Chain A
Amino acid sequence: MLSRRNPQLNANGELIHLLSIEGLPREVLVHILDTAGTFLSVNEREVKKVPLLRGKSVFNLFFENSTRTRTTFEIAAKRLSADVINLDIARSSTAKGESLLDTIANLSAMHADMFVVRHSESGAPYLIARHCAPHVHVVNAGDGRHAHPTQGLLDMYAIRHYKKDFSQLTVAIVGDIVHSRVARSDIHALTTLGVPEVRVVGPRTLVPGDLHAMGVRVCHDMAEGMRDADVIIMLRLQNERMTGAMLPSAAEFAKTFGLTPDKLALAKSDAIVMHPGPINRGVEIDSSVADGQASVILPQVTFGIAVRMAVMSIIAGNEA
């Protein structure tokens, strides 16, 4: 029976790990977004700290580098009063040949309460969640091409903040969909929250045709993808993940799919533009759009702290 249950939920349907948005019920997502709203105000107080995770140890295990995501998790954990230990794992244990599970066993012996895991292999956080002690919680901070659930949730927070209601929206996700765990997490979250039209927009090499199975509309034409959109999520062109000739050139991509003011003008007049960062100015997004009225890229960063505080405080408060 246990194996059939979503490994992120306990027998009462409460969240104990955050591994992927896929398969999570709408109520769980809404509870996280509502809780994040409470924490957003904490970040504006004189004392930007609450005691919910006092005495808990959060280990940031980044097997793949990401200074920004690691920092936002660190800030979130510290504002919840947890002790945070950052391990430069790629350069230590793994380089010496230790297996993933041996690393986890060793850190568990140091009384870790939570692991925040980024790994280049899809599924690594699931493996850790299956093998850690029952009181230990795992947050996926990005695994391979699979999922980046806290980014997906902070995107949902931003959309709800600016658009209030998901049920009438058209959301376009543009760019390198094939390599993007953010796109996958966003798609699962948007469809779970009831967004009627989710479009994935980009060249055939970066937007596989079979994505319509996820309940999205595939657009290989930028104008078609932009038309009357309420929300545009631009993705970074992941040069470091490109193998082989998937694109003629970044310049060619910028010309066709880069978000410029004239392409943005096809969307609704009150459309918002999002990007998970870091942005490549002049490639997937024009500077005038990134810095323009429609851009909510910096508020996304602020919301990201509150959403990560919400996720950590919710899972740490639920028992396996």
Chain B
Amino acid sequence: MSTLSLDAEALYAELLSGVRVLLQPDSALVGIWSGGAWLAERLHADLKRPGQAGVISSVLHRDDYSARGLAGGGGATRLPFAIDGARILLIDDVLFTGRTIRAVINELYDFGRPRVVDLAVLVDRGGRELPIQPSFAAAKIVLPALQRLTLARRGDGRFAFSLENKT
């Protein structure tokens, strides 16, 4: 563990304000499995949006399948609304290389052609390997590539970050 401390709850409050600005009346929230899905679920409730937030998984479009196989797992995509013509706001916890975002955009297109796709994240940790930028990030930090920043959801629904060195 490093000494870096990120207050996930304080950042969530920032994200909530940022998302409130980005959202249009017809926008649909879609959280990226798993951390982004927790965030989208809570944002959806706090913003009193109708219906349910969507969940999207990168697993079927990952570009490291030949190296990692399906070992990483990942939940199933659940989009309880039509994607054709929709305004989608993707939510994720940590934005790093951008590869997950590329994969979930491909996944999204398997369900239809959205009108607009936007992205809001809790933390942008730099290190992009693809030309992908979020419309909103509650925090921007720079971390060494070998460190993994992970969001956890505690039993009471509150969020916390942990930072580990990759082995």
Known: A47-B110, A50-B110. A314 touches B59 (CB 8 A): no
**A residues within 8 A CB of B68?**
317
For chain A, the bracket of interface size reads: 10 to 19
Chain A CB within 8 A of B125 CB: no
Separation of A316 and B75 alpha carbons in the complex (Å):
20
- Structural contact, A38 and B111, CB atoms closer than 8 A: no
Chain A CB within 8 A of B70 CB: yes
**A residues within 8 A CB of B65?**
52, 317
- Structural contact, A41 and B76, CB atoms closer than 8 A: yes
**B residues within 8 A CB of A34?**
73
Chain A CB within 8 A of B71 CB: yes
Chain B CB within 8 A of A35 CB: yes
**A residues within 8 A CB of B74?**
38
With beta carbons under 8 angstroms apart, the residue of B70, B76, B109 that contacts A47 is B109
**A residues within 8 A CB of B75?**
38
- Structural contact, B70 and A313, CB atoms closer than 8 A: yes
Instruction: Please name the residue on chain B nearest to A34 by beta carbon.
Output: B73
Which residues of chain A in 38-55 are interfacial with respect to chain B, using CB atoms and an 8 Å cutoff? Answer: 38, 41-42, 45-47, 49-52
Chain A CB within 8 A of B2 CB: no
For chain B, what secondary structure do more than half of its interface residues adopt (helix, strand, loop), or is it mixed?
Answer: loop
Chain B CB within 8 A of A287 CB: no
Chain B CB within 8 A of A37 CB: yes
- Structural contact, B110 and A41, CB atoms closer than 8 A: no
Instruction: Please name the residue on chain A nearest to B76 by beta carbon.
Output: A38
With beta carbons under 8 angstroms apart, the residue of A14, A50, A316 that contacts B60 is A50
Chain A CB within 8 A of B61 CB: yes
Give the size of the chain B interface in residues (CB under 8 angstroms): 20
Chain A CB within 8 A of B66 CB: yes
- Structural contact, B109 and A314, CB atoms closer than 8 A: no
Chain B CB within 8 A of A280 CB: no
- Structural contact, A46 and B111, CB atoms closer than 8 A: yes
Known: A37-B76, A46-B112, A47-B109. A317 touches B60 (CB 8 A): no
With beta carbons under 8 angstroms apart, the residue of A35, A41, A51, A52 that contacts B77 is A41
Instruction: Please name the residue on chain B nearest to A51 by beta carbon.
Output: B61
- Structural contact, A38 and B69, CB atoms closer than 8 A: no
- Structural contact, A14 and B109, CB atoms closer than 8 A: no
Known: A41-B76, A51-B61. A46 touches B71 (CB 8 A): no
Chain B CB within 8 A of A72 CB: no
Separation of A316 and B61 alpha carbons in the complex (Å):
15
- Structural contact, A35 and B60, CB atoms closer than 8 A: no
Candidate in B61, B65, B109, B111 with the most chain A CB atoms within 10 angstroms: B65
Separation of A10 and B57 alpha carbons in the complex (Å):
27
- Structural contact, A317 and B61, CB atoms closer than 8 A: no
- Structural contact, B60 and A52, CB atoms closer than 8 A: yes
**B residues within 8 A CB of A45?**
110-111
Chain B CB within 8 A of A318 CB: yes
Query: Closest CB-CB distance, A303 to chain B, in whole Å?
Result: 15
Query: Closest CB-CB distance, B115 to chain A, in whole Å?
Result: 16
Query: Closest CB-CB distance, A30 to chain B, in whole Å?
Result: 12
Query: Closest CB-CB distance, A76 to chain B, in whole Å?
Result: 14
Instruction: Please name the residue on chain B nearest to A32 by beta carbon.
Output: B70
- Structural contact, A317 and B111, CB atoms closer than 8 A: no
**B residues within 8 A CB of A38?**
57, 59-60, 74-76
Query: Closest CB-CB distance, B64 to chain A, in whole Å?
Result: 10
Instruction: Please name the residue on chain A nearest to B110 by beta carbon.
Output: A47
Separation of A41 and B111 alpha carbons in the complex (Å):
11
Candidate in B57, B110, B111 with the most chain A CB atoms within 10 angstroms: B110
5 smallest CB-CB distances across A and B, nearest first, come from A317-B69, A50-B60, A47-B110, A38-B76, A318-B69
A-B contact pairs, 10 of them (CB 8 A): A38-B57, A38-B59, A42-B110, A45-B110, A46-B112, A50-B60, A51-B60, A52-B65, A52-B70, A317-B70
Known: A37-B76, A317-B66. 14 other contacts (CB 8 A): A14-B71, A38-B57, A38-B60, A38-B75, A45-B111, A47-B110, A50-B60, A50-B110, A51-B60, A52-B70, A313-B70, A316-B69, A317-B65, A318-B71
